[in-house]
Amino acid sequence: MAELHPQCAAFLKMGEGQPDVTQMGTFYGRSNGHSERDLSGPIDPSVHIEHLYFTSPTADLPISIFTPPGAGPFNGMVYFHGGGWVFNYIRLYEAQLADMAKRTNSIIVSVNYQKAPEHKFPIPFDDCYAAWEWVNEHAAEIGITTGKIGIGGDSAGGNLASGVAIKIRDENKYPLAYQWLIYPCNGVDFETPSYLANADHYGLTRNGMIWLWDQYLATEADRSNPYAVPLSAKNLSGLAPAIVLTAGFDVLHDDGERYKEMLVEAGVPVAYKDLPDMIHGFFNYGKYIEQGITIRDYFADEINKVLK
């Protein structure tokens, strides 16, 4: 088994003494998240960032639009941020998404969907699907090439992207170019080897994920709804190509690996990368964990392969 990367170990040490999400609750957790705007690294000043709103079925939602330099035409992406469906917000993702917009020549629309537990499934999911439709409906005025629009997300955002990709196939309204899934939380089996091996001490805990799922899901039936729990899907055929990443010291490692296997079994093209020495969330910690920035090379290469 790989050893924990020293930068991950140092980052985790910085957070020693913080209560687990199950103790801190929603208010403290949200308040604590409004810090270190440069946590993911420097923001590329050549990328234009615009803050707008669009209307979902139940709310007016903030979105950030990242436009790379140049005259276009541009590819497109709709991005759903992580945070266990409860925490985080789009401005924490400006460094990563500005960089990815430039690397993939994409206009990226990042969505501040409504949060659980105040807004349980299907509301956050519906917000994300509505954002996908809105971007397609307004592609020409935004400057995006129709048919070259993907979706992406990390952690809970990876879950939302996975579910939205399934609904995009089911509705068959607009073509999806790809799904970019960064350590997605796609299942509710908390007895997997990675849940047990990484239950504590690596940031996101097993108890924390159990608590977060309880905040998000409204009914027991949601646990077998593939839009909420993609690993419960009976049919993944016909989905868009996927780029999937997992981290070794992450309770969600086996969720991502199993979902990758299910996609492959269903005939979906998949680019898969596992980083055995990384922790959950490292994509957001580029200021302290170099791999959070360098992994963008891999992501951009794989997205550009699909778009070509």
Residue range 194-237, pLDDT digits in tens: 999 999 999 999 999 999 999 999 999 999 999 999 999 999 99
In three-state secondary structure terms, 116 is coil
**Exposed e or buried b per residue across 192-209, where buried means at least 16 C-beta atoms within 10 angstroms of its C-beta:** bebbebbeeebbbbbebb
Nearest to 283 by CA among 206, 182, 160, 152: 182
Residue 34 has pLDDT above 80, yes or no: no
Selecting among 99, 250, 254, 255, the annotated active-site residue is 250
> How do strand 242-249 and strand 179-182 relate by DSSP bridges?
parallel
User: What's the pLDDT at 25?
Assistant: 82
Distance from chain centroid for Cα 258: 17
Q: Which fold has domain 6-307?
A: Rossmann fold (3.40.50)
H or E, element range at 298? helix 291-307
* Angle, CA of 90, 94 and 98, to the nearest 5°: 130
Nearest to 68 by CA among 107, 41, 94: 107
User: What's the pLDDT at 119?
Assistant: 98
- C-alpha distances in Å from residue 48, one per residue of 44, 66, 67: 9, 6, 5
250 given a catalytic annotation: yes
| Mean residue pLDDT across the chain | 96
Mean pLDDT, residues 169-198 taken together: 98
280 given a catalytic annotation: yes
pLDDT tens by residue, 19-32: 888 888 888 778 87
> How do strand 48-55 and strand 60-67 relate by DSSP bridges?
antiparallel
Calpha distance 96→292 (Å, rounded): 9
User: What's the pLDDT at 214?
Assistant: 98
User: What's the pLDDT at 24?
Assistant: 83
Nearest to 19 by CA among 178, 207, 173: 207
Task: Tell if the pTM clears 0.95, that is, is over it.
Answer: yes
- Greatest C-alpha distance within the chain: 50
User: What ranges do the domains of the chain cover?
Assistant: 6-307
Nearest to 247 by CA among 198, 294, 299: 198
- C-alpha distances in Å from residue 42, one per residue of 12, 91, 99, 226, 289: 21, 13, 9, 36, 13
**pLDDT band of 270, cuts 50, 70, 90:** very high
Query: 106 is written with which tokens?
Result: 């994409």
48 given a catalytic annotation: no
Does the N-terminal peptide bond of residue 122 adopt cis geometry, omega within 30 degrees of 0? yes
Selecting among 155, 162, 253, 254, the annotated active-site residue is 155
Strand partners, 74: 144
Mean pLDDT, residues 104-114 taken together: 98
